[in-house]
Structure 1
Amino acid sequence: MLDVSDDVRAEIGDEEANRLLAGENAPGNYDCTSCRSPGDPGQVRTSTVLFVGEETAVLAFAHAACIPSQVVRVSEEQVQGAVRTITADDPSGTSAGLTADAATGAAAPVEEPRPDRGRAVLGVTCGQVLIGDALHAAVVVEPTAPIARPGSDGPGDDFLPLLIEQGFLPVTGITQPPATVPGWSVLVAMGQLHAILQPPAAGTAQPIAWWQAHQSLPVTDGWRTSANQNNQVLVYAAPAGSIGQQPREDLMRDALDKAAAEGVLVAAAMPLAGT
C-alpha cells in the first residue's frame, strides 16, 4: 500500500522505486512525517516523501491521508538534522520514519519573515482558533509594512485587495470557517510548517510558494492534530499593524475578532497538500 509519485521516482530512480513498491525496502512501520503518529504500510496507504537538501536526501514515509507522495526541498541543515534524529532513534540507521521536534504548550506563536519585493516582510503566526465547539489549525499572516500593488509607486496598502482578487473573502466575524480558496494549499512536512502555496502560473503544473519559511516552523501537537483531522488550515490575513505578535492563542483570537469588527480581515480555508 505504498505510493511513489513520479517526482520521487525521478529523484531516486526506477530501480529503487520498484524495490520499494515490491516491499524490499519498505518500512515495517514508521512515524508519519506529517502527524508523527505510527503507520504501517501493510495496513494503511502510505506516501513516500523525499526531503532533498543541497547535498543530502532523506526518504521518509507518511500516511497518504496526511500528505501525498512528493519531493520537498529543504535546507541542507534540516536534512542533516533529520539524519541525526533518525540515527539517534535507531543506531542501526535503518529507521524509516523522519520526524522533527515540535514546540509544545497551549500556544506556539511563531513568526518567520519573508522579503516581499523588497518593501515588506510577511509575519506568520500559528495557533488554534475555536469556532463553535471545534478547534481549527490557523495561520495568521500580517505584513510588517504596507504592501503596494506590483508596479505601483503609490503609498497605499493593497494587501487585502490583492488577496481578495485571489479568492480570499472578507471576515466580519469568526463564527464559521471561511470558504476554501481554489488552488491554494498549506505544506506541512516533517511535522512542521513549510509553505503556503498558490496556484501554478500559466503554462506550469507546480504550485508556487506564496510564502515559504526560511527554516521550517515548529507547531504544537494540537495544531498539527487539528490540521490533520480537518485536512485543512484556516489562513487569516490582515494589513500591517492590525494583529501584532500575540504570545497566547486567546490574545490572538481577541486581535482577530477586533480586526474582523474593523473590516480589515480576510480569510480562506486551505487543504494540506504538497508540491
Structure 2
Amino acid sequence: MPRMLDVSDEVRAEIGDEEADRLLGGDNAPGTYDCTSCRTPGDSERERTSTVLFVGEETAVLAFAHASCIPSQVVPVSEEQLQGAVRSITGGDAGQQGGQGGEQTVDGLPLQAELGVTSGLLLINGEVQPALVVEPLVPIARPGTTGPVDVFLELLNEQGFAPVTAIDQLPDPISGWSVLLVMGKLHAVLQPNANGGQPVAWWQAHQPMQVAEEWRSAVNKTGRVLVYAAPVGTIGQQPREDLLREAMDRAAASGRLVGAAMPLAGT
C-alpha cells in the first residue's frame, strides 16, 4: 500500500530515485514506527511521515518521524554518533542512563576538554524555553597552548556566541550550529566544519543523554534549543531548575555567560 511519506530532494539525492520510489510505494517503508523526534507511535499509512536520513562517514541510517514534528532531511553525523543513533532507534541502549539530574560529562571538540552539560527549562517572556548549560570541568586554554589563561568565553565569542547580560532575553541564533536529538536523547552539539562539508561535533555525549519529557515537549514546540556557556566553577551542579536559573542570573550579571539559539539537527 502506498505510504504518506515525504521524501525531500536531498534525501532522494542520497538514496536514489529507485529506492525513494520503493519507499513511496510502500515496499521498504514501515507501516508503523516510533517517531525519531517525539518518540510516540506513527503510522505512515494514515498520517504524513518524514524520512530522515542520518549520514556518517561510511554508513547511513534511514529513520521516520511525524511530518508535524520535523521535515524530511539529511542529517550529517560522525560515524560514532551514527552508531549511537542506531542504538537509540533500535532500543539497544534502553538500559543506559545519562548523568544525574540531566548532567553528563562529555568530550568537547575542538577544545579537547571535558565539559559538563545540563539540560533545563527557562521561563523567558512568559514562555518555557528548552536550554542547555555548558561548563568546562577545567580551565580552557587556547588550542595549541597550555594556558594558563582561561579563554573559554573568548573562544566562544569568536565562534559567534554573544554575551548574555540578562536571562529574560532570548539569545540570538548562531549560524551553522545545531543540536542533535535522536529518539528523545541528546547526542551532540554540532558546529560548522572549518574545512567545509559536514558539520562536526563541538560537544558529543559519551552515550546518548536522557532528557526530561517536559524538555522534549518544549523542544518540539519551539524547534530550537538555547545553549548557554560559562567558565569552570561559575554555574556548578544545581539540583533544581530554580537554583540553576539563579546561578545563571549571577553569571550573567558578572559578565561570565554567553549564549546562542540553535535549531535541531534533524530531530
Task: Give the TM bin, normalised by the shorter chain.
Answer: 0.7 to 0.9
The letter for the 2-side match of 1:180 is: P
1:6 CA displacement: 7.7
The residue correspondences of 1:96-115 to structure 2 (distance < 5 A) are 108-114=101-107
Q: Give distance in 2, aligned partners of 1:264 and 1:80.
A: 37
Q: Call closer, same or farther: CA 1:124–1:20 in 2, change over 3 Å.
A: same
The letter for the 1-side match of 2:253 is: A
User: Are residues 1:194 and 2:198 paired?
Assistant: no
Q: Give distance in 1, aligned partners of 2:246 and 2:156.
A: 22
Cα-to-partner distance string for 1:189-232 (whole Å, 9 max, x where unaligned): 12111110111223x22111111111110111110111111000
The residue correspondences of 1:254-265 to structure 2 (distance < 5 A) are 254-265=246-257
- Give the corresponding residue for 2:177: 184
- Give the corresponding residue for 1:95: none
| Alignment partner of 1:66 out of 67, 70, 78 | 70
- Give the corresponding residue for 1:227: 219
Q: Call closer, same or farther: CA 1:146–1:267 in 2, change over 3 Å.
A: same
Q: Call closer, same or farther: CA 1:195–1:119 in 2, change over 3 Å.
A: closer
Contact 1:53 1:76 in 2 (8 A): no
Which runs of no fewer than 5 residues in structure 2 stay unpaired?
none
- Give the corresponding residue for 1:48: 52
The residue correspondences of 1:195-274 to structure 2 (distance < 5 A) are 195-202=188-195, 204-274=196-266
The answer to which of 206-215 and 67-76 deviates more is: 67-76
The letter for the 2-side match of 1:181 is: I
The answer to which of 41-50 and 188-197 deviates more is: 41-50
- Give the corresponding residue for 1:94: none
- Give the corresponding residue for 2:142: 149
Q: Call closer, same or farther: CA 1:11–1:183 in 2, change over 3 Å.
A: closer
Q: Give distance in 1, aligned partners of 2:56 and 2:109.
A: 25
Provide the TM-score with structure 1 as the length reference: 0.79
Say which SS state the counterpart of residue 145 (structure 1) adopts: coil
- Paired positions, count: 258
The answer to which of 26-35 and 141-150 deviates more is: 26-35
- Give the corresponding residue for 2:157: 164
Which runs of no fewer than 5 residues in structure 1 stay unpaired?
86-98
Contact 1:235 1:270 in 2 (8 A): yes
Q: Give distance in 2, aligned partners of 1:132 and 1:144.
A: 31
- Give the corresponding residue for 1:25: 28
The residue correspondences of 1:109-128 to structure 2 (distance < 5 A) are 109-114=102-107, 120-128=113-121
Say which SS state the counterpart of residue 148 (structure 2) adopts: coil
Say which SS state the counterpart of residue 236 (structure 2) adopts: coil
Contact 1:191 1:218 in 2 (8 A): yes
- Give the corresponding residue for 1:2: 5
The answer to which of 263-272 and 74-83 deviates more is: 74-83
Provide the TM-score with structure 2 as the length reference: 0.81
Contact 1:3 1:69 in 2 (8 A): no
Q: Give distance in 2, aligned partners of 1:154 and 1:81.
A: 38
How high is the sequence identity, in percent, across the aligned residues?
Answer: 56
The letter for the 2-side match of 1:151 is: G
Cα-to-partner distance string for 1:70-122 (whole Å, 9 max, x where unaligned): 3654475774575357xxxxxxxxxxxxx96898xxx9422122156786311
1:126 CA displacement: 0.8
The letter for the 1-side match of 2:5 is: L
